[in-house]
Structure 1
Amino acid sequence: MKINNEELFQIGEVAEMLGITTRTIRYYEEIGLMDPPQRLEGGIRIYTKDDIKRLKFILKLKELGISLKEMQELAQIYKIHQTPEKIMPKLIEILDSHIAKIDEKIAKLASLRKDIVDYKTRILEILKQNNT
């Protein structure tokens, strides 16, 4: 739908577009990740292309493993400064923290893999000795 030459979307359209539920969108609004949307008469939520960009950003952060709490921190910074440039240092800090956690998990998994391969090798040697 268009109002004042701006393309607007109802919550169901946005949810379908992004592959999420309407409940998810409402939840993001409730916890402050999204500003309350404009409403038509009758209370129907309508979203702008900027709202959809914001939702896509939230979904990308979620995909990267950023917690809702961390997203709320970013949203607070954005609300205060109203420029994406101001949230970038905090976002980089959060991403660096996640990279460190991932590196730690990779190291633990590599160690576990080595232990499992060593254990398997010992079992195969025992089986080989028993069959000869």
Structure 2
Amino acid sequence: MDIIKDGEEITPIGDVAAALGLTTRTIRYWEEVGIIESVPRSDGATRGFTPYYVRRIKFIIKLKELGLTIKEMQDLYAAYGEAKQTERMVPRLVEILDEHIAKIDEKMARLASLRSDIVSYRQHMVNKFGASQTSGA
């Protein structure tokens, strides 16, 4: 997809990586797996990114922070597609986020149970062996 406007500044990959706290390898990998794009380049030219592409990279960073997998991001990218079908992407994103919320809820329940077991076992050790109760439970 060609998203270059006349006179629009193209930022080199190294500058984008530094500004966003990424490595150039990460950006190249994301491009290889098809979740971002760079501007078309001539042979041997450095990858470059318009402000549009930089916004897309920032979006990918947010999705990654939310715990989405590369596959899920590829699915979203496909849903968005060339036609910019936001009405397809947003429901899919909501569905993916709902799945992640459910997974987090499950993990939190398991961690709460584990914490309870550890507190109980600790108290058992204190009662049985008279160990110090100075650390907080």
TM-score w.r.t. length of structure 1? 0.88
Deviations 1:58-88 (A, max 9, x none): 0110011000000000011111541333200
The ranges of structure 1 where at least 4 consecutive aligned residues each deviate by more than 4 angstroms after the TM superposition are none
Pairing partner for 1:56 from 44, 55, 58? 58
Percent of residue pairs identical = 50
Aligned to 1:98: 100
Q: Is the 8 A contact 2:8 2:50 kept in 1?
A: yes
Letter in 1 for 2:34: G
In the alignment, the residues of structure 1 paired with residue 46 and residue 118 of structure 2 have an alpha-carbon distance, to the nearest angstrom, of 56
* Distance apart, 1:42 and its partner CA: 4.3
Change (3 A) 1:4 1:36: closer
Gaps of 5+ in 1: none
Q: Secondary structure at the match of 1:6?
A: coil
Aligned residue-pair number: 127
- State whether structure 2 residue 25 is matched by structure 1 residue 23: yes
Q: Which has the higher helix share?
A: 1
Match 1:11 to one of 13, 25, 40: 13
Q: Single out whichever of 35-44 and 17-26 deviates more from structure 2.
A: 35-44
CA distance in 1, matches of 2:27, 2:128: 58
Gaps of 5+ in 2: 132-137
CA contact (8 A) 1:34 1:55 kept: yes
Superposition pairs for residues 32-71 of structure 1, below 5 Å? Answer: 32-39=34-41, 42-71=44-73
Q: Distance in 2 between matches of 1:44 and 1:8?
A: 11
Q: Larger deviation: 79-88 or 114-123? A: 79-88
Q: TM-score, normalised by structure 2?
A: 0.85
Q: Which has the higher strand share?
A: 1
CA distance in 2, matches of 1:48, 1:85: 24
Cα pair 1:7 1:49 within 8 Å, conserved: yes
CA RMSD of the aligned region, Å? 1.9
Distance in 1, Cα, partners of 2:123 & 2:24 = 52
Alpha-carbon displacement from aligned partner over 1:22-73 (angstroms, at most 9, x marks no partner)? 1111111111101342325742222100000000000110011000000000
Q: State the match for 1:86 in structure 2.
A: 88
What is the deviation of 1:128? 3.0
